[in-house]
Amino acid sequence: MKKSGPLLKTLAVGALASVVVLSGCGSNKDNAGSNASNGGSGSADKAANLKIMWWGSDVRHEATQKALGLYTAANPKVTFTPEYTNWDGYWQKLPTLAASKTLPDIMQMDAAYIQGYVKRGLLADLSDIDLSGIVDEQVIENIKIDGKVYGIPLSYNGQGMVYDKVALEEAGITLPTNNWTWEDFFAYAEEARAKLPKDKYPIDDLRNIWEWYQFYQTSKGLGPIFKDGTTFNLDKDTWFEFNSKYAEFQKAGIVPPADLQLSSKENDPQTDTFGTGRVMLRGASVGSATAIEALLPGGRIAVNSYPIGEAGGGWAQSTIFFSVSEGSSNKAQAKEFIKWFISNEEAGKTLGTVRGIPINNDILKSIEGSLTAGEQLGIDLLNAAKPKALPFYPAPAGAEDFVSTYKSEMESVMFGQNSLEKVYETLVEKGKAAEAKLK
Amino acid sequence: MFGRKSGSGKRFQHNTAGYLFISPWLIGFLLLTLWPILQSLYLSFTEYSLLDSPVWVGTDNYSTITTSDRLFVKSLVVTFTFVLFAVPIKLLFSLLVAMLLNKNVKGMSIYRTLIYFPSLIGGSIAVAALWRNMFGLEGYINHILSWFGIQGIGWIANPDTALGTLILLNAWQFGSTMVIFLAGLKQIPKDLYESASVDGAGAFRKFYNITLPMLSPVMFFNLVLGIINAFQMFTSAFVITNGGPANSTYMYVLFLYEKAFRQYQMGYASALAWILLLIIGVFTLINFTVSKYWVHYEAEGGKSR
Amino acid sequence: MMTEKQSSWKNHLLLIPFSLLMIYPVIWWIGASLKSQTELSLPTLWPDKFMWENYTNGWTYSSQYTFAKFFGNTLVMEFWNVLGGVLTAALVGYGFGRLNFRFRNFWFSVLLMTLMLPSQVTIVPQYILYTKLGLTDSYIPLILPHFFGGGAFFIFLVVQFIRGIPRELDEAAQIDGASVYGIFFRIIGPLIKPALYTVGIFTFLWSWDDFFAQLLYLSSVEKFTVGLGLRMFIDQFEVQWGQLLAMSLLSVVPSAIIFFLAQKHFVEGIATTGIKG
């Protein structure tokens, strides 16, 4: 005899109340993200408060805020509401802001994530910013998505290799040479194994890193794993050849055992296999150069290019950008600011290398004299990577499942818990599923 | 006869007072909590990247999850294993230590704080570094094992043992469960023990006839919540092992989180969440149903019906 | 009393090694917080060179605000959280645990249900809700749930404690003319003090580290909590370990102090309450 009356009533009232409250407040607060005093991407002369967000550590925060202060001093009509956090937090917060339609006017973007945002129309087209004389034309071409510019590059990045020169020389191992081939690379590994003490290894076992295999495949001119970002293109023979080689290496002790390898956390002083002197040579990005130099300071580290195949090897292009939100009402002012950010000399001096090697060559020259060893290492890496660089092929938006499957499946292979054949089937299945989403 | 409303006798209904007392929670629930919950239910029937608007897909998410997602099964297995071991171990430890700490020994406050300390650092970033150092290949455990001539392995980096380290971490942080037991122990009136002593009862009889029954509501609480929380374990798997190696520590909520925030599939993740709720709900229901056989509520004057 | 003394040192014999075992990783933590970046890769417990600067540098890492500001922010938030948590748990717990009202079991099941849905899927709709209410970049979304709509864990805890209190006490008070409200304030309330102290401590501890919510709802640096401040030491590629470990160790200290001070309140059992008449 339970009367459902009171219950339903309470629920209904509560739900109604919520709806009323929400819809009432909704319309006015929807534009909370870009609190412009006037709508539309009007002329750059109108006053504006730009909401700007970036990730980084405190060094970057301080420098950037100083730069923002410089800009406001020179352009009093434009003020800023900055927001910053660390890398992990940033990529949790940004999608949430997107979901609540409160993206900031200006946001820092990374090459690995930008496609997802472009695909959903969240970023403004910045192709109309005139960057001639500020940024190399080739650099701009490299970062275009569907022929348009969606992020202004802030620094150079690239992928090369670093090795412990002192240790290799001591053991009498032939040093790597720039633009060496994959055959040279494997030969180095075998020679080094013979001459290194038992608990040290020539190279890492990176079978669970899909990008590492992709470097191999692309350097042979076979194209990336997702050709044109839409077609699944894992070359069977090449993949088996590559992984069988590494399986042999694991047996011969040329790469660390699986549990040592997987406990390695990049740049972590406790566990990084390179930093703790267990592995002699590994890939390194320009952006992480200062971190790496801190692991083995004192000039121990020397730089080399990635192994090069017929089509090239490694990559060298910008991966960090400033993008403008498509929903921003202050696009003109935002664009002006970004242009100033990468070209103004004083800004350049204030910012230094907090975002890596400055994209503007003039600014780079002006700070060249005051570089630290780590920053110099970054420049050396960039110079090693540039000559034969291939494009940077990030995982296309929609292939995230494939990427995480690749990692866990290969890890089980590394522990001898799975066979290459089975894993290949799984990868093809996931790859095709991703392809269906990408088309 | 067994209706909960009639209770053990003349229980009156206090509708006004009842709703008044629970109003802080009820109001908050209706205004602040209900809508996000209903939203997440709605989202479970959509495809939602967070960057786009949600797109209705009906029961697609649910059918994919239950028929063709291998990771779903894997994460369930990992999670069930975790729950199976972590909950009893934690409960046992907590009870024993609570009884140990219930005594009037000098400096007990300090001991209690020290023993509780690990539970304080649960959400701390440093836990990852700590645990990796303890159980890493070059870590302390292996260091100590080498004294006995045993060659340790990379406990955290090995798929066979990684989950074990997380279970251990969970057990190490038993402090909260223990504190609740302590509070429960302290609530047992001392004169019960005294009259039992007068009647000639020994320590074991006292434990069995007084402590356990009087503690059973709290034990029940710890069991129910222990299971609910163990199913939702996330932070240590996220921060220390990130689900690896080879998905051996791929807890269900980590799987959910990755779908939501890394793979732009919030709709799918919401479906996963509601499935989890169902699973936990079933376990909780079983717990409540079985509780009438062993939980003693003093307020109801004996075994609760 | 001979037996008491003997069991006393036996207790210590048991307690000391056990405490050490529990606290051992923390000892490593202290040592590591005093190491330099390069020394961290060595498996030693104590550093060769004690880098006390890790603490001073860490404290003043940000040029805008020292950790004093972050600690201050967090402690203020915690005050409100604990107040809300304890009040709500006491009131609502009494309602569910002692009073009989229509649909009580239904609402109690709903209460429990809120514990079973992972927060990762409600946090985005919740954020959207608070955005529409214009309450982002404030502490309100963090504090409000402790007063309204949250705290299911604690409510349930208090319910269990209350159900362990014999009804004869209520009945005796009723005979004396007390209403249900009176019973709450004069009888049950005082008796659940241990439980309430537990609620307070746990509210404090668990909201301290609630990173995701703090990340979403606090934007301006001046509002940062300690947890958000700690993230400053982590960059995309490298971590300032010494300072991070030092500051995160300090971050745990208030919780430890609160626990140490408050514990006697929930372990001061109840004296005989004349139950047996």
Chains A and C form CB pairs within 8 A to the count of 105
Q: What type of residue sits at position B245?
A: P
Q: What is the CATH number of domain A43-157+317-359?
A: 3.40.190.10
The arithmetic mean of pLDDT across residues C53-65, rounded, is 84
Element (H, E) at B268: helix B266-291
* C275 has a pLDDT exceeding 90: no
Shortest distance between the Cα of B162 and any Cα of chain C, in A, equals: 18
The arithmetic mean of pLDDT across residues B108-118, rounded, is 84
Cis peptide before B245 (omega within 30 of 0): yes
Answer yes or no: same fold for A43-157+317-359 and A158-316+391-438.
Answer: yes
CA distances from A228 to A113, A232, A233, A431, A434 (A): 17, 9, 10, 14, 13
Q: Is A159 helix (H, G, I), strand (E, B) or coil?
A: strand
* A224 has a pLDDT exceeding 90: yes
Least confident of A233-242, A325-334, B128-137, C265-274: C265-274
Please check whether residue B37 touches C, CB under 8 A. yes
The arithmetic mean of pLDDT across residues C272-276, rounded, is 32
DSSP A123: B
Contact B183 C272 (CB under 8 A): no
Please check whether residue C260 touches A, CB under 8 A. no
Q: Which residues of chain A does B125 touch, with a Cβ-Cβ cutoff of 8 Å?
A: none
Surface of A (270-289) touching B: CB under 8 A? 270-271, 276
Would you place residue C221 in the very low, low, confident or very high pLDDT band (cuts 50, 70, 90)?
confident
- Every domain of chain A and the residues it spans: 43-157+317-359, 158-316+391-438
Contact B50 A95 (CB under 8 A): yes
Q: Is A163 helix (H, G, I), strand (E, B) or coil?
A: strand
Q: Which residues of chain C does A84 touch, with a Cβ-Cβ cutoff of 8 Å?
A: 221
Place of tokens 């400033």: A322
The CATH class that applies to domain A158-316+391-438 reads alpha beta
At residue B284, the pLDDT reads 94
Please check whether residue C16 touches A, CB under 8 A. no
Smallest Cβ–Cβ distance between A287 and the set C38, C219, C237 belongs to: C237
At residue C267, the pLDDT reads 60
Please check whether residue B282 touches C, CB under 8 A. no
Would you place residue C210 in the very low, low, confident or very high pLDDT band (cuts 50, 70, 90)?
confident
At residue B301, the pLDDT reads 61
Residue ranges and CATH numbers for the domains of chain C are 66-267 (1.10.3720.10)
pLDDT in tens, C86-142: 999 999 999 999 898 989 999 999 999 999 999 999 999 999 999 999 999 999 999
Instruction: Give the pTM.
Output: 0.87
CA distances from C120 to B122, B233, C143 (A): 18, 12, 18
The arithmetic mean of pLDDT across residues A302-313, rounded, is 93
* A17 has a pLDDT exceeding 70: no
Would you state the structure tokens that stand for residue A88, as one six-digit string? 């992990």
Please check whether residue C210 touches B, CB under 8 A. yes
Please check whether residue B245 touches A, CB under 8 A. yes
Q: Which of C126, B47, C122 is nearest to A120 (CA)?
A: B47
Of residues C48 and A129, the one with the higher pLDDT is A129
Q: What type of residue sits at position A279?
A: V
Least confident of B290-299, C36-45, C128-137: C36-45
Would you place residue B185 in the very low, low, confident or very high pLDDT band (cuts 50, 70, 90)?
confident
Shortest distance between the Cα of A241 and any Cα of chain C, in A, equals: 32
Would you state the structure tokens that stand for residue B11, as one six-digit string? 């229980």
* B49 has a pLDDT exceeding 70: yes
Least confident of A64-78, C2-16, C100-114: C2-16
At residue B7, the pLDDT reads 43
Instruction: Give the integer Cα–Cα distance in Å for A291 and A377.
Output: 10
Please check whether residue A263 touches B, CB under 8 A. yes
Q: Of A83, A96, A264, A266, which to mutate for an interface test with C (greatest number of C Cβ within 10 Å)?
A: A96
Please check whether residue C202 touches B, CB under 8 A. yes
Contact B25 C209 (CB under 8 A): no
Written as one string, the DSSP assignment of A265-324 is -TT-TTT-TTTTTSEEEEEEEGGGHHHHHHHSTTT-EEEEPPPBBTTB-SEE---EEEEE
Chains A and B form CB pairs within 8 A to the count of 100
Q: Which of A298, A277, A300, A306 is nearest to A381 (CA)?
A: A306
Contact A120 B247 (CB under 8 A): no
Q: Are A22 and A4 in contact (CB under 8 A)?
A: no
Instruction: Give the integer Cα–Cα distance in Å for A146 and C79.
Output: 53
Q: Which residues of chain A does B258 touch, with a Cβ-Cβ cutoff of 8 Å?
A: 404
Please check whether residue C6 touches B, CB under 8 A. no
Contact B13 C102 (CB under 8 A): yes
Q: Which residues of chain B does A260 touch, with a Cβ-Cβ cutoff of 8 Å?
A: 137, 154, 157
Q: What percent of chain C has pLDDT over 70?
A: 92
**CA-based nearest residue in chain C for residue B23:** C92
Shortest distance between the Cα of B274 and any Cα of chain A, in A, equals: 20
pLDDT in tens, A396-428: 888 888 998 999 999 999 999 999 999 999 999
Least confident of A24-28, A308-312, B54-58, C171-175: A24-28
If you average pLDDT over every residue of chain B, what do you get? 86
Please check whether residue C228 touches B, CB under 8 A. no
DSSP B240: I
Q: What percent of chain A has pLDDT over 70?
A: 90
C23: Cβ contacts below 8 Å, ≥ 6 apart: B114, B115, B117, B118
Please check whether residue B278 touches A, CB under 8 A. no
Instruction: Give the integer Cα–Cα distance in Å for C34 and A5.
Output: 65
pLDDT in tens, A282-300: 999 998 898 899 888 888 9
**CA-based nearest residue in chain C for residue A101:** C128
* C273 has a pLDDT exceeding 50: no
Would you state the structure tokens that stand for residue C163, as one six-digit string? 């159900």
Shortest distance between the Cα of B44 and any Cα of chain C, in A, equals: 9
Surface of C (62-121) touching B: CB under 8 A? 87-88, 91-92, 94-96, 98-102, 104-105, 107, 110-118, 120-121
pLDDT in tens, C240-264: 888 888 888 898 899 889 888 887 7
> What strands lie across the sheet with A48-55, from one edge to the other?
A78-85, A48-55, A106-110, A320-324, A152-153
Rounding to the nearest 10 degrees, give the CA dihedral for residues B48, B53, B58, B60.
Answer: -30
Contact B34 A14 (CB under 8 A): yes
Residue ranges and CATH numbers for the domains of chain B are 50-296 (1.10.3720.10)
Contact B186 C268 (CB under 8 A): yes
At residue C84, the pLDDT reads 95
Of residues C261 and A200, the one with the higher pLDDT is A200
Smallest Cβ–Cβ distance between C131 and the set A21, A62, A102 belongs to: A102
- How remote is the C-alpha of B183 from its chain's centroid? 18
If you average pLDDT over every residue of chain A, what do you get? 87
Element (H, E) at B123: none
At residue C268, the pLDDT reads 55
Q: Which residues of chain B does A263 touch, with a Cβ-Cβ cutoff of 8 Å?
A: 132, 136-137, 154, 156-157
Would you place residue A39 in the very low, low, confident or very high pLDDT band (cuts 50, 70, 90)?
very low
At residue C266, the pLDDT reads 62
| Cα angle for residues B137, B142, B144 (degrees, 5° grid) | 155
The arithmetic mean of pLDDT across residues B212-239, rounded, is 91
Written as one string, the DSSP assignment of C54-105 is HHHHHHT-SSS--HHHHHHHHHHHHHHHHHHHHHHHHHHHHHHHH---TTHH
At residue B11, the pLDDT reads 56
Of residues A18 and A205, the one with the higher pLDDT is A205
* B285 has a pLDDT exceeding 50: yes
